Structure 1
Amino acid sequence: MRPIPADPGVYRFRDARGRALYVGRAVNLKRRVASYWGDLRDRRHLAAMVRKVSRVEVVACDSEHEAAWLERNILERSMPPWNRVAGGAESPIYLELTTSLAAPGLRTTFRVAAGTQGFGPYLGGTKARLAVSALHRLYPLPYTGTRLTGAERDMARKLAVGPQHHGDMLAAVSAVLHREASAVAAARAALAQLRDAASADLAFERAQRLHLELAALEWICAAQQVTVTQPEDLVFYGWAEETLVRFEVVAGRLCDWQVRSCTAQAAKEKVALTPPHWVRFAQRNAALAAALRKE
C-alpha cells in the first residue's frame, strides 16, 4: 500500500473474485486504508471483511468535500455488502444569492429560485449555514438593502453600511462563492484574524464559532468537480503503465471507476476523448492505479 497518497479520496476493497466489498472516504487515504490492518477499535465488525480483501483501489481527490461527494455518488448507485448507509450523512444543499437592492442576501436552500444566483451543490446543511454566517459577518450584504426594519436600520448604522455599499458587498460575496483565489484568501485571513482576536480576549465561545465558520468556508470553497449541476453524461479515461481507468459520469455526477489492463495502443483513442477539464484527474488516478497493481 506504499503508493497510496496522504490525500483526500475514496477507497474500495475488492475480494479475490473482483467483487466490491466496501467503499469509504478519507481525509488521508494512506492513514485510513492502513487502519483496517491495525486496531479496528469501534470497527471490529469489519474484521471478517478485511480478511477477504484481495485488492485495494483508490481515487485521489482535490479536497475532502470532493471525496465526500464521490463516496455519496458511488454508494447511491451501488451498495457493496459491507456498507451500511447509502450516500453518507450529509444532505445536498445550495446557496442562493439574492442580488436585488431591495432585499439582498445569501441563504441556504434545497432549490434555487428563479431570479437569483445559485451556487453548489454542497454537502452538509450545517456547514452551508455556517458559511453563510461567515460571509455575512465579513460582508454584511443584507444591511445594504432598502427594505430594512427599524432594528435592521439601527444595525446597518452600527456596521456603517448602506445602499451605497450594495455593489461592493455583492461583488465580494460573489467572488468568494466563485472560488476566486484572492477573494477566498482574503476571506480566510479575515476570519482567522477575528478568531485569533477573540481567543486573545479569552472569548473562547466566539473564537470556537469563528473557527467553525472558517472550516465551513474552506468546505464550500474547496475544489470539487465530481458533482455539478449540469446534467452531463460521459465516460472518460486515464492510462498509465498498461493500466486503463474508466470513469463514468451520469447526470453530472462521477459515480463509478473501473481498472483494467490495457496496452498503450489500445488506450490511445479512448484517452484522447477525455475532456480537458478531466485530464489531470484521470491521469493522476491512472498513475496511482498502475502503482497499486504492482503491489
Structure 2
Amino acid sequence: MVQDHSDEILAQVAALPPLPGVYRYYDAQGGVLYVGKARNLKKRVSSYFTKNHGGTRIGHMVGKIEKLETTVVRSEAEALLLENNLIKTLAPRYNILFRDDKSYPYLKITGSPDKLGFSTQRGGAPSAAVFPRVAYYRGSVDRKHRYFGPYPSAWAVKESIQLLQKVFRLRTCEDTVFANRTRPCLLYQIKRCSGPCVHLVAPEDYHQDVLNAEAFLRGDTQTVLQALEQRMLAHAEKLEFEQAAELRNQMGALSKVLHQQSVETASDKDVDILAVRVQGGKACVNLAMVRGGRHLGDRAYFPSHVEDAAAVQDFDDAADAVQAQPVEVQVLEAFIAQHYLGVPLPSALITSHPVAPALTEALSLQAGARIGAVHNPRGQRRLWLEMAEKNAQLQLARLLAEEGSQQARTRALVEALDLAPDNLDTFRVECFDISHTAGEATQASCVVFHHHQMQNREYRRYNIEGITPGDDYAAMRQVLARRYAKLAQAGRDTPDATPPASEDPPPAEVQVPGDVPEAAEVTLQANEAGTPETVAAEAKPRREKPGGGGSAQRLPDLVLVDGGRGQVSMAREVFAELGLDLSVIVGVEKGEGRKVGLEELVFADGRDKVYLGRESAALMLIAQIRDEAHRFAITGMRARRARVRVGGSQLEEIPGVGAKKRARLLQRFGGVRGVAAASVEDIATVEGISRELAEEIYRALH
C-alpha cells in the first residue's frame, strides 16, 4: 500500500467481498469525504489504496481518509439508490451535490370525490364539504384531498388556479369565510366564482365543474369539451337557454385557454425536460415540467463540488476500465438520481445528454412503473428541449456574472473599511437587527455572510426576554452578549487555540432554520447487507444544537449592527466587557429621510462616520446584508407574535368552534394561552359557548 493509512483500514480493504455495494470515506474529524458505489467493492476500493496519486485531487482526498464504511447490496440498481440517499443525507465533500430545495408546490382540491354528498348544514346553509375549494399547497400529500403537480414554482400553481377560476369558476375562499358569507363576493361579480356560499349554484352542477377541472388538470381536455357540449345541447333541447349560454361561455373560455397553452398530444401529458450546461467550473441543470399536457415553466439548479467530484468519477471509470463520461453527463445523472428520490416521477424524461440504463432501471424500480429517458427527441419534444438548453445557458451565465459581482463587492467592502483579512473568500460578516411590535414579541436576528454569499444555514434568531418592552438598546446588548460570551471565554482560556462555537443558549431561545449536515455514523460493516431506505435512515445526520458548532468558530471580520451611535455604543460596551476587538463593530445609520443609498457607517473604535456614496459597491453589499437581517428578524417576530397573540390553529381543530366563537374566546382571554389557562366555568361564560363545548375546548387544550 502506497498511502500512509492505518493497519485497520488496510485490513478492512483486503477483506472486502467482490460484491456490489456502497462505500463511504471519512476524515479525522468524522466528516464524510466521498460516497461511491461499485459492482465489485473489493476491486473499486482497493484501487484507491494501491496507487500513488501524488498531488492530484484524488491524492488530496485519499490522504485524508481515516475511516472506511461499506454496505453490500443485492444489485447495481439498489447500490445507485443507496448511494444517492447517502449523498443527500451526508453531503460529502467530493460528490456532486444538489441542494435539497423546498418541497415542490401542488394544486389542491379539497375533499375526496367518493365522499362528496349534497347535504347542507343545519339551518339550510351550504356545507363547505359539498363545494370543494381549489388552493395552493406545499407539503406532504395525503388521501383526504386531491393533489395535482408537482409544479416548478408557486407562480405556476397560482396561474393554474386562475385558469380554473376563469373556466370552471371554482371557489378559493377558506371554509371559515365560506360558512359566514351572506352575499356573493367580488369574485362572483367578475365571474371567477359560481357563488356556492349563497346557493347560486346547485351542488350537482358544482360537482360536475370539479370533475371537469380535474380532467383538465390531467390533460383530458377533449373529454371535458365533449362533456360540456353535451350538457349545453341538453339544456337547449329543454329550452333552458340561460344555462346553455353559461356552458357555451365556459366552452369558449376553455378553448381560449387551450389555444394559449398550446396543448399537445395526449402522449405527452406528464414529461420532465432536463438540460445541463457546464462552464468555468460551474454547472446548471434546467428542469422544465409538462403536466396535463401544459408546459408549466422551469427551474434552475446549481450543484456544488463539480470539479472535485468529476476528478473522482474519472478515476473510478479508469479503475473499471470504462470510457470516462463527460462532466455534463456526470452532473445530469447526479441530478436525476438525487432529485427524484421521494418525488413523484413523470412517465418520461427528455434529457440533453444520454444517461446510463442502470439509472432509469433504478428509477423504474423505485416508481414501480417503467420510466423512459429520451436524449434525442423530435417534434414538439425537440422544441421543449431546445428551450430548456437555452434557459440553462442563460441561468449559468447569470450565475457566473453574479458571482463575479459579489466578489467585487466583497473586495470593495474590505478596501473601503481598510480591513486586511487573511483570505477574501473566508471574509466573514455577521449582522444583527432587533424587531418587535410596540415591545411585543421582541426578537433579534443574526445573519452570516462569507464566501461571497449569505449563509442562511448559519442564521440564528434570539428571543429577547427580561428587558423593558421596546428597549432596543437592551435587546442589542443581550443578543451580542449571548452571541459572543462563550467565544470570548474560550479565547481567554486557550488564547492560541481556535475557539469553539459562539454561543449556546437554551433550545427554547433560539430557532434554527435548518439542519447542518455533520458527520453521521453508519454502523453497518463491510459484510452486512441493507436496503437503501434503512441505511439512509441510520445515516441521517444529527440535528445541530442551537448555537452549536455550525455557528461562528471565530470572531467575525466585521460585525454590523442596524443602527446609529446608540446601538454602536451598546455594542462597544459589550465587546469591551468581553475583551473583544472593538474595531470590527460598524453601525449602519440610516440617512436623511431613511432613503436607501444615503446610509452612513458609524465605528465603535472612535473613527469618524463614513459615507460611501450611493453607487458604492461596498455600500450595496452592506445594504444587502442589513436588509437580510431585517427580513429575518421581522419574519421571526411576526411568527412568534402570531403564536402568542392568536394561536388560532389549536382552536380551529376543535369541532364546534367556528370563526365567531374562536374570535370571542381570543378576545375574552387575550390569546390561546389565556384560553388554555381558563377553567371550564370561565370558558362557558363566553357568548355562544355551552357547558359541553367548554368541556370539549378544555380537554382539547390540555
- Category of TM-score, reference length = shorter chain: 0.3 to 0.5
Of structures 1 and 2, the one with the larger relative CO (CA 8 A, separation 6+) is: 1
Query: Which structure has the highest strand share of the two?
Result: 1
Q: With structure 2 as the length reference, what TM-score do the two structures score?
A: 0.17
Higher Rg = 2
